[in-house]
Amino acid sequence: MQSIREKNWNAFRKRYSEFEQKIMKAKKELKENIIVQVEYTSEGEAFIKVKKDEQELYLNGKRKPVAPAKTWVESIGEMLRYTPFFFFGMGNASYVKEILKKADKEISILLYEPSLAIFLEVMDKVDISEIFEKYPIAIIIKGVNDYELNQVIQGFLNLGNISQIRQLVSPNYDVLYPEDAKMFIKKIYDVEEAYIVGRNTRFNFSKVNVWNILHNAVYLPDSYKAQQLVVLPIDIPAIVVAAGPSLNKNIAELKRAKNKAFIIACDTAIKPLIKEGIIPDMYATVDGKKPPMLVDVEEIKEIPLLCSMFSSYEIMKEHKGKKFFFNEGYILFNQLYNKNGISFEPVNGGGSVATFAFSLAYMIGFQRIILVGQDLAFTNNKTHADGTFQDKMEEIDTRGLIMVEGNYEEKIPCRGDYKLYLDWYNDYIEGCQKVNKLRVINATEGGAKIRNTELMTLKEAIDIECNKEVNIGDYIEKLEPVFNKEQRKIAVQELHKIEYYFNDLKTQANELIKIYKQLDKMARLGSTNKRNYQSMIKKIKRRKNKFEKNPVVQLLADTLVVSDYIIQEEAFAEEETFEEEIKEIARKGILYMEQVKKCVSLFLPVVKETVGSVE
């Protein structure tokens, strides 16, 4: 007969063979200052006692160890099919066992154990073999594989199940391991918040994005592509000017770099530059909601512009100079290039206008890039340089913000989105430097520390690096639009097809609604012939395949995110009977297609007014 230890480890290694090796390696280096003991009730139920730092605590009840777990599971109520469970502490396995008695086999469970000593004692003396045998549970142990924690949490969660999260800090674990418990809960919260923020951001930007895209598409037949800028001389540095608070310290120095560097500015930095009499060689705008007041100065209307299909159409409308686009993956617009046999290259984004500008400089081939005003933090408790959103930017309360390493300060306050851009710079620059000799000089004179950059004042950087005269404007002026006369005609024809695609999508949506209604009628009449249902489902799949090939579906994806979210979230609620499930499929299908029709009706007049009227 197998001992409890043998039973547990045999079950464990069948599912986690490689993990066992990591555990045994960590066991050899174990230095926990605790004593773990397993005791038993008169009925033979195990409970665990832990002695740590003069504390003696039980991880479950001495008399009825299982009772609290049963009560907790009953308090949860209905568990949906994909409800995610996060447990901190394996010292009381009763909670997991009770969950598994009620849960569907596809339930998601993560067990985090902050003590290898407790885990090993449980494996030796508490029968938890059924946990490993029946369910693919994720197990994280501090000091063994805790580096995977964030990745596993992200893998467990999606937009459809974040509202169903269940988490539990096992009894007395919060006393024994308070900091670890806080960390665990915070990681779950951070991932959950990222999904919600991402969803809400898409909600807010969805209609604006399509509106901007359709208005900006009219410029494509006469536009330029970012890749054309490879003609620029790269034996000079590129200077990327962002609008962080530190820009006010050294902006005047940039006058000396004119015609000795390729100066590309972020849209927010334009006004401070113009005020100093500095005209950049190019500026960038990619944000669909950037207020036009940031660039409402006459001097910039002819400056070459790096722009996105998402860029604010109001800013784009006022700009009269050369517009440089890049491939953002939209089939509708890539066809303009494909039909003309022209390549259309992307620019590695990063999420902010400054990261796009940096990526462009790298793509062109510059091997020396100087960063200015790239604070990525609240230098002097300000978000931007004076002269951007306000003549004098206000100081804000930065208590409670993330603290990151600074260029000139030990720690500096940083916002969540700034931290994302900072992480992007750290990773992207490191990747670039692995394949070439890229030098990045951070001449921000404040802000957050970006890894793999050389810290200098802007004066030093210009003195050392800007020592060759080049007229960048002459190179850009000589560039011709990407399409010649005949190619332009083809590009315009492709834009005119967009109206057809919209109308066709509405037709396809109506056809699918008819089929869904037929499916619903079959279910309501109580048809018991499952072959008929299968035939109808196949018909829907064929129609949906055709529907999804319409390139407008990609364009409307963000606008339909609300419907996507509703349907995803409801998809986890299962119906009691086969007929009820069929009715739900039909109801959700009709709901989604009705939303598609509403989107078409909303944007079709804009299509006619914009891409439909290009000549």
- pLDDT tens track for 356-403: 999 999 999 999 999 999 999 998 888 888 878 877 888 888 877 889
Residue 576 has pLDDT above 70, yes or no: no
Least confident range of 11-20, 79-88, 466-475: 79-88
Residue 501 has pLDDT above 80, yes or no: yes
DSSP secondary structure letters along 511-545 = HHHHHHHHHHHHHHTT---HHHHHHHHHHHHHHHH
DSSP secondary structure letters along 10-59 = HHHHHH-HHHHHHHHHHHHT----EEEEEEE-TT--EEEEEEETTEEEES
Least confident range of 2-11, 77-86, 132-141: 77-86
Q: Sorting pLDDT into bands at 50, 70 and 90, what band is 560?
A: low
Q: What are phi and psi of 373, to 5 degrees?
A: 70, 20
CB atoms within 10 A of CB 435: 7
Per-residue model confidence (pLDDT) at position 578? 67
Q: How far apart are CA 239 and CA 366, in angstroms?
A: 10
Amino acid found at 362: Y
Looking at residues 270-286, what average pLDDT do you find?
A: 94
SS3 378: coil
Per-residue model confidence (pLDDT) at position 245? 93
Percent of the chain with pLDDT over 70: 89
Highest mean pLDDT among 179-183, 228-232, 286-290, 595-599: 228-232
Q: Sorting pLDDT into bands at 50, 70 and 90, what band is 67?
A: confident
Per-residue model confidence (pLDDT) at position 160? 53
Per-residue model confidence (pLDDT) at position 381? 87
pLDDT in tens, 309-339: 989 999 999 999 999 999 988 888 999 999 9
Q: How far apart are CA 446 and CA 449, in angstroms?
A: 9
pLDDT in tens, 144-178: 888 788 778 877 776 556 667 888 888 888 888 88
Q: Which two tokens stand for residue 595?
A: 């939303």
Q: Higher model confidence: residue 436 or residue 74?
A: 436
Looking at residues 578-601, what average pLDDT do you find?
A: 81
Q: Which two tokens stand for residue 277?
A: 């009499």
Residue 42 has pLDDT above 70, yes or no: no
Give the dihedral sign, CA 93/97/103/108.
positive
Looking at residues 588-614, what average pLDDT do you find?
A: 89
Residue 568 has pLDDT above 50, yes or no: no
Per-residue model confidence (pLDDT) at position 239? 98
Looking at residues 106-117, what average pLDDT do you find?
A: 85
Per-residue model confidence (pLDDT) at position 198? 54
Per-residue model confidence (pLDDT) at position 467? 94
Q: Which residues pair with 55 in a beta bridge?
A: 52
Per-residue model confidence (pLDDT) at position 303? 95
Looking at residues 189-213, what average pLDDT do you find?
A: 66
Per-residue model confidence (pLDDT) at position 201? 47
Q: How far apart are CA 360 and CA 363, in angstroms?
A: 5
Least confident range of 176-180, 181-185, 387-391, 409-413: 387-391
194 touches 150 (CB < 8 A) = no
Q: Sorting pLDDT into bands at 50, 70 and 90, what band is 230?
A: very high
Looking from the CA of 209 toward its CB, the CA atoms found within 13 Å total 17
Q: pTM of the full predicted structure?
A: 0.67
Residue 64 has pLDDT above 80, yes or no: no
Of 209, 159, 195, 287, give the one whose Cα is nearest residue 599. 209
Least confident range of 79-88, 421-430, 456-465, 485-494: 79-88
Q: Sorting pLDDT into bands at 50, 70 and 90, what band is 205?
A: very low
In the block, which residue shows the tokens 């339930």? 107
Q: Sorting pLDDT into bands at 50, 70 and 90, what band is 570?
A: very low
| HEC assignment per residue over 232-273 | CCCCCCEEEECCCCCHHHHHHHHHHHECCEEEEEEHHHHHHH
Q: How far apart are CA 504 and CA 494, in angstroms?
A: 15
What is the residue-averaged pLDDT of the chain?
85
Per-residue model confidence (pLDDT) at position 137? 82
**E-assigned strand segments in 101-189:** 108-113, 138-141, 166-169
Of 79, 72, 75, give the one whose Cα is nearest residue 164. 79
Residue 18 has pLDDT above 70, yes or no: yes
pLDDT in tens, 523-554: 888 765 677 777 888 888 888 888 888 988 88
CB atoms within 10 A of CB 585: 20
In angstroms, the Cα distances linking 400 to 61, 403, 410, 413, 415 are 38, 9, 17, 9, 10
Of 276, 311, 497, give the one whose Cα is nearest residue 386. 276
Q: Sorting pLDDT into bands at 50, 70 and 90, what band is 566?
A: very low
Q: How far apart are CA 568 and CA 310, in angstroms?
A: 26
In the block, which residue shows the tokens 């962002």? 242
At a CB cut-off of 8 Å and minimum separation 6, what does 165 contact?
Answer: 83, 84, 86, 157, 188, 192
Percent of the chain with pLDDT over 90: 41
Give the dihedral sign, CA 577/583/587/590.
positive
Q: Sorting pLDDT into bands at 50, 70 and 90, what band is 583?
A: confident
Per-residue model confidence (pLDDT) at position 561? 54
> What is the maximal distance between C-alpha atoms in the chain?
92
Buried b (16+ CB within 10 A) or exposed e, 339-373: ebeeebeebbbbebbbbbbbbbbbbbebbbbbbbb
